[in-house]
Structure 1
Amino acid sequence: MSNPRFSIIPAWIVTDGRLKGSDLKVLCLLGTHTNKEGWCRRSQVKMAEQLGCGRSTVQDSLNRLADIGAVEKRKVESVDGRDSAHWYRVILDRALSSNAFSAWEADDEKEFGPISGASAVAPPAGIPAPPAGPEAAPPAGSGPAPINDSSLTSNLNEEERERDRNDEGEENPKALEKRFRKWWSTWPTYATDTETTTRRAWLDLTAEQRKTCEYRTAEYLAAAKASGRKFSKAAATYLSERAWERLGERTGSAAQASSPEPYTAYSRAGRALLLAELLKPERHLTLNPIEQKIIEDKPEKRDLIWRDKREKQGWPEASKLIETTQQRRRFNVPARIVAIGQSFDKVKVGGDVWQAWQRLHHRRCWPWLAAPEGLEWMQFPRLPDGIEDLDEACDMALGEFDAALREGRGNDNAA
């Protein structure tokens, strides 16, 4: 695992809203040194030196990555009780053989044996560790990359893939496994599903059912997203229930009518999708050790810390829509939500109604989409007539919007 050229990490983690600070850098560093089973043994002190940060920063990131489900930790107990580098696994949905650690220990013990008393001392919090030396990194060798895992990146060229299809046959185990992994990687709960159960359900299907499943899964996911419901169906459940069969046959005109269009959250349709995401249940959150320590030392900061955490992490899909809009990019909005948003009103930025909507977001700890310089109007649900209290009017308008969403969800046949 010396002179690594690549870092192998799961793709889903890159856009996860729970990442903070140096989390992704720590994960990439682990992925740089991982073996083909996903494990590596690293010293937190050395990692901090490589990243130019304190050991506590690395430790916090490792704890957070473990909580998210991107990293698994295995503690190493040294004979004399001194601190020793631990094993870390960048989770790649792989089963580990029982004797794997014994095989790896012999190779890595020399470099990652018990840490001496002098090197085990962590730098004080807030003070970065010394930067890496100025010498240039060694050039990439002429040999193959250190990780060559066919389940992550295929090394087959197009001619070989064609040979698999023509000579070996469609139901050949090798080709079938490729199809399974390609399909499974597109499923929303891929990162948390059990591989063995999902593969068994896949193999239980007939050849024709697998073809239909591959063809209609994207359509099923689009219909489920358009319904506004939180997606939680495991891949194995979807396969065993053959849920795609409940979609029914759709005509070309119907499919065209439900095709999404690109918008930003400054538009009626974009704002409608943003509010639809905010009206979904809040993600379950827990405090990390640093936040718990701050609250223990200064209880008066409890509400402030929880508010900040909820606004940033409580509704990750809504936060992504806000970030996409602020980056001047567009996103797709289901036709049903586009239609509901057509009744929204233009609201003067900085005006009384705009401020009332801002207060509503603050009361609910929702993330707020700020207006960029030069934007005069933003879109919100139309306020009911005859209500003088703007805060009450905004609450009622939001309730009417939620009722319209629920009415549409009741007609969904893909859940």
Structure 2
Amino acid sequence: MSEPRLSIIPGWIVTDPRLKGKDLQVLCMLGRNANTRHGWCRRSQVQLAKALDCSRSTVQAAINRLVDIGALERREVVSSSGRDSAHWYRVIYDSKVESSAFDAWDAEDEKEFDPTSDFGSDAPPAGIPAPPADPESAPPAGSGPAPINASTLTPPDKREERERERGSENQEEDPAVIERGFKRFFHGWKTAISDSEPDARRVWLMLSAEKRAKAEAKSADYQAAALSTGRKHLCSAATYLREERWEKLQETTAAAASAAPEAYSAYSRAGRGLLLAELMRPERYLQLTILEEVIVRDKPEKRDLIWRDKREKQGWPEAVRLIETTVQRRKFNVPQRIVDASQGFDKVKVGGEVWEAWKRLHHARCWPWLPAPDGLEWMQFPRLSPDIEDIDEACEHALSDFKNAIGMERDNDDAA
């Protein structure tokens, strides 16, 4: 076969809420080559983008997220000629384990495998013959191999089930089961990457087994309901546990249903308004990579081109995300103040004089440009003043009016 039959990826990543867009597909593409002897594969982002029918920036953003999440390791490669080169990637199958988890597992293993302990005293451990019932010697062992009692050969789901049953029989919870339940819950919390894991673990250990089960089962539903009400920030995992917010899920869901905002694309008035608002924010601080510095040093005439490409793709990351979302035919929510301020936008003929003027404005500021799909005849932009004859000046003036209308001047002053 010309294509690999399998793609090997970590199971925990499949339900991770931090995944976006093409993330899982990119991981699967890299995982198809994970069965080499050293676990690394060298792949071109351009070829990955071609295989997944998306842009290179989409693949690059997916790889950056997978590295941040902890599902992928990357080693950059700089060629001797200074040209861009494919990087090395390795899929990471197991997330980092806290030392407290090993303490719990050590206690468990000592309890199960230490022959001097009282564990399993009612019957001899598997593989060890029972003592003879009388002074006579025991019958010889069979010719077949002794059964193996190795916990690592037991599937994880069966092992957890066995541990839960054992814990219920002893009326005492297994620390390893508690820790694994916490890991599942915490890794599923949307702000886990910046949240305090020790704080959340302390509250988790204070809850009863029943409450921990409810907290984990309703975690995803609570997060979705809370964010759908228009909130910009999610509470910490520790707060969710401490205040038992899963009990408020029904109330939160009802509020979300009544306050769910309408979704837009950047082809609409409101969507274009949000896109322009993100573009008018301060540009992200950028630096050339080592490879780019080498290229600029060797070919100074490419400096402006490299900087333009970098600014358009990375200078306003939220605007780039809105464009990619729209191109992928998905929608996003828009704050009501921007919806209201963009109601006066005009329809602009694609390819027309006003369209070209807005395109020149974006080019002059190194802003990413939203392309018009085939068949789209009109797009939305701020209304131009009929009193300004120069069309480029009119676009600048209309943009400034929109910025004032959504209060960005005030926001910038307050931020300073």
Quickly name the TM-score band, shorter chain normalised. Answer: 0.5 to 0.7
Matches within 5 A, 1:207-226: 211=215, 214=219, 216-223=222-229, 226=230
Q: What secondary structure, in the 3-state scheme, does the structure 1 residue paired with 2:267 have?
A: coil
Query: How many matched pairs?
Result: 310
How much has 1:305 moved relative to structure 2?
Answer: 0.9
Shift in alpha-carbon separation, 1:167–1:26, aligned structure 2, 3 A = same
Shift in alpha-carbon separation, 1:220–1:283, aligned structure 2, 3 A = farther
Matches within 5 A, 1:73-222: 90=92, 93-95=95-97, 155=157, 177=179, 180-190=182-192, 192-193=193-194, 196-197=197-198, 199-200=200-201, 202-203=203-204, 206=207, 211=215, 214=219, 216-222=222-228
Could you report, residue by residue, the CA deviation over 1:113-168 in whole angstroms, capped at 9, with x for unpaired residues? xxxxxxxxxxxxxxxxxxxxxxxxxxxxxxxxxx9999xxx7469x969x88x969
State the partner residue of 1:369.
Answer: 370
How much has 1:350 moved relative to structure 2?
Answer: 2.7
Shift in alpha-carbon separation, 1:236–1:278, aligned structure 2, 3 A = farther
1:311 paired to 2:317: no
State the partner residue of 2:404.
Answer: 400
Q: Which amino acid aligns with 1:348?
A: K
1:28 paired to 2:31: yes
How much has 1:217 moved relative to structure 2?
Answer: 2.8
Matches of 1:308 and 1:186, distance apart in 2: 35
Conserved? CA contact 2:296–2:302, under 8 Å? yes
Q: Which amino acid aligns with 1:28?
A: G
Q: What secondary structure, in the 3-state scheme, does the structure 2 residue paired with 1:346 have?
A: strand
1:332 paired to 2:332: yes
Conserved? CA contact 1:73–1:88, under 8 Å? yes
Conserved? CA contact 2:30–2:89, under 8 Å? no
Matches within 5 A, 1:251-400: 255-280=256-281, 282-327=283-328, 329-334=329-334, 336=336, 337-383=338-384, 386-388=387-389, 389-400=393-404
Shift in alpha-carbon separation, 1:94–1:379, aligned structure 2, 3 A = same
State the partner residue of 1:83.
Answer: none
Matches of 1:375 and 1:66, distance apart in 2: 32
How much has 1:373 moved relative to structure 2?
Answer: 3.0
Matches of 2:253 and 2:240, distance apart in 1: 26
* Segment drifting more, 234-243 vs 271-280: 234-243
Q: What secondary structure, in the 3-state scheme, does the structure 2 residue paired with 1:303 have?
A: helix
Q: Which amino acid aligns with 2:227?
A: L
Conserved? CA contact 1:266–1:378, under 8 Å? yes
**In percent, how many aligned pairs have the same letter?**
38
TM, length-normalised to structure 1:
0.53
Q: Which amino acid aligns with 1:326?
A: V
Matches of 2:204 and 2:28, distance apart in 1: 38
How much has 1:369 moved relative to structure 2?
Answer: 0.7
Conserved? CA contact 2:261–2:333, under 8 Å? yes
Bigger RCO of structures 1 and 2 (CA < 8 A, at least 6 apart): 1
Matches of 1:193 and 1:270, distance apart in 2: 29
Matches of 1:188 and 1:287, distance apart in 2: 31
Conserved? CA contact 1:202–1:239, under 8 Å? no
Q: CA RMSD in A?
A: 5.5
Shift in alpha-carbon separation, 1:310–1:149, aligned structure 2, 3 A = farther
Structure 1, unpaired ranges of 5+: 34-39, 54-60, 75-85, 98-146, 411-415
Conserved? CA contact 1:259–1:335, under 8 Å? no
Matches of 1:397 and 1:149, distance apart in 2: 66
Q: Which amino acid aligns with 1:393?
A: H
Matches of 1:149 and 1:31, distance apart in 2: 24
Conserved? CA contact 1:285–1:314, under 8 Å? yes
Q: Which amino acid aligns with 1:221?
A: L
Structure 2, unpaired ranges of 5+: 49-59, 76-87, 100-151
TM, length-normalised to structure 2:
0.53
* Segment drifting more, 364-373 vs 257-266: 257-266
Conserved? CA contact 2:9–2:93, under 8 Å? no
Shift in alpha-carbon separation, 1:252–1:25, aligned structure 2, 3 A = closer
Matches of 2:359 and 2:339, distance apart in 1: 22
How much has 1:248 moved relative to structure 2?
Answer: 12
Shift in alpha-carbon separation, 1:216–1:200, aligned structure 2, 3 A = same
Shift in alpha-carbon separation, 1:273–1:216, aligned structure 2, 3 A = same
Matches of 1:315 and 1:268, distance apart in 2: 20
How much has 1:267 moved relative to structure 2?
Answer: 1.4
Conserved? CA contact 1:258–1:335, under 8 Å? no
Q: Which amino acid aligns with 2:224?
A: A
Q: What secondary structure, in the 3-state scheme, does the structure 1 residue paired with 2:204 have?
A: helix
How much has 1:220 moved relative to structure 2?
Answer: 3.5
